[in-house]
Structure 1
Amino acid sequence: MARNVFYSFHYAPDSWRASQVRNMGVITGNAPCRDHDWEEVTKGGDAAIKRWIASQMSGRTCAVVLVGTNTARRKWINYEIEQAWGSGKGVVAVRIHGLKNSAGLQSAKGGDPYQDFNINGTPLGSIAKTYDPPYASSTYVYDYIQANIADWVEEAIKIRNRY
Protein backbone atom coordinates (compact mmCIF):
# COMPACT_ATOMS: atom_id res chain seq x y z
CA MET A 1 0.00 0.00 0.00
CA ALA A 2 1.44 3.38 -0.99
CA ARG A 3 1.64 5.92 1.83
CA ASN A 4 -0.04 9.27 1.49
CA VAL A 5 2.55 11.95 2.33
CA PHE A 6 2.92 15.71 2.49
CA TYR A 7 5.73 17.10 0.34
CA SER A 8 7.57 20.11 1.72
CA PHE A 9 9.99 21.99 -0.54
CA HIS A 10 11.16 25.46 -1.57
CA TYR A 11 8.81 26.09 -4.46
CA ALA A 12 10.59 28.48 -6.84
CA PRO A 13 13.95 26.76 -7.26
CA ASP A 14 12.90 23.17 -6.58
CA SER A 15 9.43 22.63 -8.03
CA TRP A 16 10.83 20.86 -11.11
CA ARG A 17 12.96 18.56 -8.97
CA ALA A 18 10.06 17.98 -6.57
CA SER A 19 7.77 17.06 -9.45
CA GLN A 20 10.23 14.34 -10.46
CA VAL A 21 9.93 12.78 -7.00
CA ARG A 22 6.14 13.22 -6.93
CA ASN A 23 5.80 11.51 -10.31
CA MET A 24 7.83 8.45 -9.38
CA GLY A 25 4.56 6.76 -8.39
CA VAL A 26 6.09 5.08 -5.35
CA ILE A 27 4.20 7.11 -2.75
CA THR A 28 1.27 9.46 -3.15
CA GLY A 29 1.22 13.01 -1.91
CA ASN A 30 -0.60 16.27 -1.70
CA ALA A 31 -1.48 17.76 -5.06
CA PRO A 32 0.91 20.42 -6.27
CA CYS A 33 -0.34 23.96 -5.84
CA ARG A 34 -0.53 25.92 -9.08
CA ASP A 35 1.10 29.35 -9.11
CA HIS A 36 -2.25 31.13 -9.36
CA ASP A 37 -3.73 29.12 -6.47
CA TRP A 38 -0.69 29.82 -4.30
CA GLU A 39 -1.00 33.53 -5.03
CA GLU A 40 -4.61 33.40 -3.81
CA VAL A 41 -3.61 31.57 -0.63
CA THR A 42 -0.80 34.00 0.16
CA LYS A 43 -3.09 37.02 -0.31
CA GLY A 44 -4.81 35.87 2.89
CA GLY A 45 -1.58 36.25 4.87
CA ASP A 46 0.02 33.87 7.36
CA ALA A 47 -3.29 32.62 8.76
CA ALA A 48 -4.46 31.56 5.30
CA ILE A 49 -1.14 29.84 4.58
CA LYS A 50 -1.35 27.95 7.88
CA ARG A 51 -4.91 26.82 7.05
CA TRP A 52 -3.79 25.68 3.60
CA ILE A 53 -0.87 23.71 5.08
CA ALA A 54 -3.19 22.12 7.66
CA SER A 55 -5.65 21.09 4.96
CA GLN A 56 -2.84 19.61 2.84
CA MET A 57 -1.39 17.70 5.80
CA SER A 58 -4.75 16.29 6.83
CA GLY A 59 -4.83 12.52 6.36
CA ARG A 60 -1.11 12.27 5.62
CA THR A 61 1.17 9.88 7.51
CA CYS A 62 4.53 11.53 6.84
CA ALA A 63 6.13 14.78 5.70
CA VAL A 64 8.81 14.34 3.06
CA VAL A 65 11.08 17.37 3.04
CA LEU A 66 12.70 17.65 -0.38
CA VAL A 67 15.94 19.47 0.36
CA GLY A 68 17.42 21.78 -2.23
CA THR A 69 20.07 24.45 -1.93
CA ASN A 70 17.97 26.95 0.06
CA THR A 71 15.40 24.76 1.81
CA ALA A 72 16.82 24.86 5.34
CA ARG A 73 15.61 27.61 7.65
CA ARG A 74 12.81 28.79 5.36
CA LYS A 75 9.85 29.99 7.39
CA TRP A 76 7.22 27.72 5.86
CA ILE A 77 9.49 24.68 5.60
CA ASN A 78 10.20 25.02 9.33
CA TYR A 79 6.50 25.44 10.01
CA GLU A 80 5.67 22.30 8.01
CA ILE A 81 8.31 20.24 9.83
CA GLU A 82 7.03 21.51 13.18
CA GLN A 83 3.40 20.78 12.29
CA ALA A 84 4.15 17.32 10.93
CA TRP A 85 6.19 16.24 13.94
CA GLY A 86 3.79 17.89 16.38
CA SER A 87 0.82 16.06 14.91
CA GLY A 88 2.52 12.66 15.12
CA LYS A 89 3.51 12.29 11.48
CA GLY A 90 6.80 10.84 10.37
CA VAL A 91 9.35 13.30 9.02
CA VAL A 92 12.06 12.43 6.52
CA ALA A 93 14.36 14.65 4.46
CA VAL A 94 15.60 13.72 0.99
CA ARG A 95 18.28 15.78 -0.71
CA ILE A 96 17.27 16.59 -4.29
CA HIS A 97 20.07 18.95 -5.34
CA GLY A 98 21.48 16.18 -7.55
CA LEU A 99 18.36 16.05 -9.71
CA LYS A 100 18.38 18.31 -12.75
CA ASN A 101 15.95 21.21 -12.99
CA SER A 102 14.03 22.25 -16.13
CA ALA A 103 17.20 23.84 -17.52
CA GLY A 104 19.14 20.59 -17.06
CA LEU A 105 21.16 21.91 -14.11
CA GLN A 106 21.94 20.43 -10.74
CA SER A 107 22.35 22.69 -7.71
CA ALA A 108 24.54 22.97 -4.63
CA LYS A 109 23.85 20.88 -1.56
CA GLY A 110 21.75 22.76 1.00
CA GLY A 111 21.86 22.96 4.77
CA ASP A 112 20.29 20.72 7.39
CA PRO A 113 16.50 21.28 7.42
CA TYR A 114 16.30 20.03 11.02
CA GLN A 115 18.90 22.43 12.46
CA ASP A 116 16.35 24.59 14.28
CA PHE A 117 14.53 21.75 16.05
CA ASN A 118 15.03 19.89 19.31
CA ILE A 119 12.86 17.15 20.76
CA ASN A 120 13.17 17.12 24.55
CA GLY A 121 16.69 18.51 24.23
CA THR A 122 17.73 16.14 21.45
CA PRO A 123 18.44 17.62 18.02
CA LEU A 124 15.78 16.47 15.56
CA GLY A 125 18.56 15.67 13.08
CA SER A 126 19.75 12.88 15.38
CA ILE A 127 16.23 11.41 15.42
CA ALA A 128 14.75 12.03 11.97
CA LYS A 129 16.77 10.93 8.96
CA THR A 130 18.11 12.86 6.00
CA TYR A 131 19.00 10.89 2.89
CA ASP A 132 21.59 12.13 0.42
CA PRO A 133 21.81 10.02 -2.74
CA PRO A 134 25.47 9.00 -3.18
CA TYR A 135 25.66 9.74 -6.91
CA ALA A 136 26.68 12.64 -9.14
CA SER A 137 24.54 11.65 -12.14
CA SER A 138 20.95 12.94 -12.02
CA THR A 139 19.74 9.66 -13.50
CA TYR A 140 21.36 7.66 -10.70
CA VAL A 141 20.08 10.11 -8.07
CA TYR A 142 16.55 9.64 -9.45
CA ASP A 143 16.87 5.85 -9.49
CA TYR A 144 18.23 5.83 -5.92
CA ILE A 145 15.37 7.94 -4.59
CA GLN A 146 12.79 5.90 -6.49
CA ALA A 147 14.19 2.62 -5.16
CA ASN A 148 14.30 3.77 -1.53
CA ILE A 149 11.75 6.48 -0.77
CA ALA A 150 8.94 4.11 0.24
CA ASP A 151 11.23 2.46 2.80
CA TRP A 152 12.43 5.86 4.06
CA VAL A 153 8.82 6.92 4.65
CA GLU A 154 8.03 3.71 6.52
CA GLU A 155 11.13 4.15 8.67
CA ALA A 156 10.19 7.79 9.41
CA ILE A 157 6.74 6.71 10.59
CA LYS A 158 8.28 4.04 12.86
CA ILE A 159 10.74 6.57 14.27
CA ARG A 160 7.96 9.05 15.01
CA ASN A 161 5.90 6.37 16.73
CA ARG A 162 8.78 5.80 19.17
CA TYR A 163 8.74 9.45 20.33
Structure 2
Amino acid sequence: MAKKVFLSFHYDGDVTRCQRIRNIGAIEEDREEVSAQRWEAIKGDGDQAVKNWIAREMAGKDAVVVLVGGGTASRKWVKYEIEKAWQDKKPLVGIRVHGMLDLQGNKGSYGDDPFGKVFDSDGTPLSRYVSLHNPSGADSKAVYATIRDNFESWVNGAVKRSW
Protein backbone atom coordinates (compact mmCIF):
# COMPACT_ATOMS: atom_id res chain seq x y z
CA MET A 1 0.00 0.00 0.00
CA ALA A 2 1.39 3.40 -0.99
CA LYS A 3 2.49 5.68 1.84
CA LYS A 4 2.30 9.43 2.10
CA VAL A 5 5.94 10.37 2.57
CA PHE A 6 7.91 13.58 2.55
CA LEU A 7 11.08 13.09 0.51
CA SER A 8 14.05 15.09 1.71
CA PHE A 9 17.04 15.30 -0.66
CA HIS A 10 19.68 17.57 -2.18
CA TYR A 11 17.78 18.98 -5.15
CA ASP A 12 20.71 19.78 -7.44
CA GLY A 13 22.51 16.52 -6.77
CA ASP A 14 19.71 14.00 -6.58
CA VAL A 15 16.49 15.25 -8.17
CA THR A 16 16.71 12.66 -10.96
CA ARG A 17 17.22 9.86 -8.46
CA CYS A 18 14.29 11.18 -6.44
CA GLN A 19 12.06 11.18 -9.53
CA ARG A 20 12.93 7.54 -10.20
CA ILE A 21 12.05 6.61 -6.62
CA ARG A 22 8.72 8.44 -6.93
CA ASN A 23 8.01 6.20 -9.95
CA ILE A 24 8.28 3.03 -7.86
CA GLY A 25 4.61 3.38 -6.97
CA ALA A 26 5.10 3.02 -3.22
CA ILE A 27 4.55 6.74 -2.61
CA GLU A 28 1.12 8.32 -2.49
CA GLU A 29 1.46 11.70 -4.16
CA ASP A 30 -0.78 14.50 -2.98
CA ARG A 31 1.07 17.34 -4.64
CA GLU A 32 2.93 18.11 -7.80
CA GLU A 33 6.67 17.77 -7.84
CA VAL A 34 8.45 21.06 -7.18
CA SER A 35 10.40 22.35 -10.16
CA ALA A 36 13.81 23.95 -9.81
CA GLN A 37 12.27 27.33 -10.63
CA ARG A 38 9.56 26.95 -7.97
CA TRP A 39 12.11 25.85 -5.35
CA GLU A 40 14.29 28.86 -6.14
CA ALA A 41 11.24 31.13 -5.86
CA ILE A 42 10.37 29.69 -2.45
CA LYS A 43 13.97 30.13 -1.25
CA GLY A 44 13.98 33.66 -2.68
CA ASP A 45 11.14 34.59 -0.33
CA GLY A 46 13.40 33.93 2.66
CA ASP A 47 14.05 31.32 5.32
CA GLN A 48 10.64 31.64 6.95
CA ALA A 49 8.92 31.05 3.61
CA VAL A 50 10.95 27.84 3.17
CA LYS A 51 10.12 26.70 6.71
CA ASN A 52 6.43 27.38 6.09
CA TRP A 53 6.54 25.43 2.81
CA ILE A 54 8.28 22.49 4.53
CA ALA A 55 5.70 22.52 7.35
CA ARG A 56 2.80 22.48 4.86
CA GLU A 57 4.36 19.69 2.77
CA MET A 58 5.31 17.57 5.80
CA ALA A 59 1.87 17.86 7.44
CA GLY A 60 -0.19 14.71 7.12
CA LYS A 61 2.69 12.58 5.89
CA ASP A 62 3.18 9.07 7.25
CA ALA A 63 6.97 9.39 7.32
CA VAL A 64 9.98 11.42 6.22
CA VAL A 65 12.43 9.64 3.92
CA VAL A 66 15.85 11.22 3.43
CA LEU A 67 17.42 10.27 0.10
CA VAL A 68 21.16 10.43 0.74
CA GLY A 69 23.61 11.29 -1.99
CA GLY A 70 27.06 12.85 -2.00
CA GLY A 71 26.05 16.33 -0.85
CA THR A 72 22.95 15.63 1.21
CA ALA A 73 24.50 15.83 4.69
CA SER A 74 25.80 19.36 4.09
CA ARG A 75 22.47 20.83 2.91
CA LYS A 76 20.88 23.39 5.25
CA TRP A 77 17.30 22.49 4.39
CA VAL A 78 17.84 18.73 4.59
CA LYS A 79 19.19 19.25 8.11
CA TYR A 80 16.17 21.40 8.95
CA GLU A 81 13.78 18.77 7.54
CA ILE A 82 15.42 16.06 9.67
CA GLU A 83 15.21 18.29 12.77
CA LYS A 84 11.55 19.09 12.07
CA ALA A 85 10.64 15.44 11.50
CA TRP A 86 12.31 14.50 14.79
CA GLN A 87 10.65 17.38 16.66
CA ASP A 88 7.24 16.50 15.19
CA LYS A 89 7.74 12.80 16.02
CA LYS A 90 7.44 11.77 12.37
CA PRO A 91 8.84 8.36 11.45
CA LEU A 92 12.25 8.98 9.89
CA VAL A 93 14.45 6.81 7.68
CA GLY A 94 17.28 7.27 5.18
CA ILE A 95 18.08 5.58 1.89
CA ARG A 96 21.39 5.97 0.08
CA VAL A 97 20.85 6.81 -3.60
CA HIS A 98 24.42 7.35 -4.82
CA GLY A 99 24.37 4.04 -6.69
CA MET A 100 21.62 5.19 -9.05
CA LEU A 101 22.42 7.02 -12.27
CA ASP A 102 21.50 10.65 -12.91
CA LEU A 103 20.22 12.00 -16.25
CA GLN A 104 23.77 12.15 -17.61
CA GLY A 105 24.36 8.48 -16.76
CA ASN A 106 26.64 9.18 -13.79
CA LYS A 107 26.60 7.49 -10.42
CA GLY A 108 26.66 9.78 -7.43
CA SER A 109 29.28 9.87 -4.73
CA TYR A 110 28.94 8.23 -1.34
CA GLY A 111 27.93 10.92 1.13
CA ASP A 112 28.15 11.38 4.87
CA ASP A 113 25.32 10.21 7.09
CA PRO A 114 23.11 13.32 7.55
CA PHE A 115 21.64 11.84 10.76
CA GLY A 116 25.11 12.06 12.31
CA LYS A 117 24.98 15.85 11.92
CA VAL A 118 21.66 16.33 13.75
CA PHE A 119 21.41 15.84 17.51
CA ASP A 120 18.63 15.19 19.98
CA SER A 121 18.16 17.27 23.13
CA ASP A 122 20.86 15.41 25.07
CA GLY A 123 23.44 15.72 22.28
CA THR A 124 23.10 12.22 20.86
CA PRO A 125 23.37 12.10 17.07
CA LEU A 126 20.19 10.87 15.41
CA SER A 127 22.32 8.32 13.54
CA ARG A 128 22.18 6.32 16.77
CA TYR A 129 18.42 5.90 16.29
CA VAL A 130 17.62 6.36 12.60
CA SER A 131 18.36 3.69 9.99
CA LEU A 132 20.24 4.64 6.84
CA HIS A 133 19.78 1.87 4.27
CA ASN A 134 22.50 1.24 1.69
CA PRO A 135 20.79 -0.62 -1.18
CA SER A 136 22.81 -3.44 -2.69
CA GLY A 137 23.37 -3.91 -6.37
CA ALA A 138 26.18 -4.18 -8.88
CA ASP A 139 24.72 -1.47 -11.11
CA SER A 140 22.09 1.28 -11.11
CA LYS A 141 19.28 -1.08 -12.17
CA ALA A 142 20.07 -3.48 -9.35
CA VAL A 143 20.24 -0.64 -6.79
CA TYR A 144 16.89 0.66 -8.05
CA ALA A 145 15.42 -2.85 -7.79
CA THR A 146 16.63 -3.14 -4.19
CA ILE A 147 15.01 0.20 -3.34
CA ARG A 148 11.81 -0.77 -5.16
CA ASP A 149 11.61 -4.13 -3.40
CA ASN A 150 12.33 -2.72 0.07
CA PHE A 151 10.96 0.83 0.09
CA GLU A 152 7.68 -0.01 1.79
CA SER A 153 9.27 -2.15 4.52
CA TRP A 154 11.96 0.49 5.15
CA VAL A 155 9.29 3.18 5.54
CA ASN A 156 7.20 0.90 7.77
CA GLY A 157 10.29 0.35 9.94
CA ALA A 158 11.14 4.05 10.18
CA VAL A 159 12.02 5.28 13.67
CA LYS A 160 9.60 7.61 15.41
CA ARG A 161 10.76 9.54 18.47
CA SER A 162 8.65 8.46 21.42
CA TRP A 163 9.79 10.95 24.04
**Same fold, TM exceeding 0.5?**
yes
**Which structure's residues are more often strand, by fraction?**
1
For residues 7-26 of structure 1, what are the alpha-carbon distances to aligned partners after superposition, in whole Å with 9 as ceiling and x for unaligned? 00000121001100111101
- The 5 Å alignment of 1:102-121 reads 102-119=103-120, 120-121=122-123
Q: Which residue of 1 aligns with 2:146?
A: 144
* Aligned position for 2:28: 28
Deviates more, 1:26-35 or 1:126-135: 26-35
Correspondence 1:6-155 to 2 at 5 A: 6-29=6-29, 31-119=32-120, 120-155=122-157
| Structure 1 Cα separation of the partners of residues 82 and 21 of structure 2 | 18
- After TM superposition, the runs of 4+ consecutive aligned structure 1 residues lying more than 6 A away are none
- Segments of structure 1 that go 5 or more residues without pairing to the other structure are none
Structure 2 gap segments, 5+ residues each? none
Count of aligned positions: 161
How far apart are 1:38 and its partner, in Å? 1.5
CA RMSD of aligned residues (A): 1.4
Fraction of identical pairs, as percent: 40
Q: Deviations over 1:28-59 (max 9, x none)?
A: 25532112212221221101111111111011
- Report the secondary structure of 2:7's partner residue: strand
Post-superposition Cα deviations, 1:108-130, rounded to whole Å, max 9, x if no partner, equal: 11111111223334321121100
Residue identity opposite 1:39 in structure 2: E
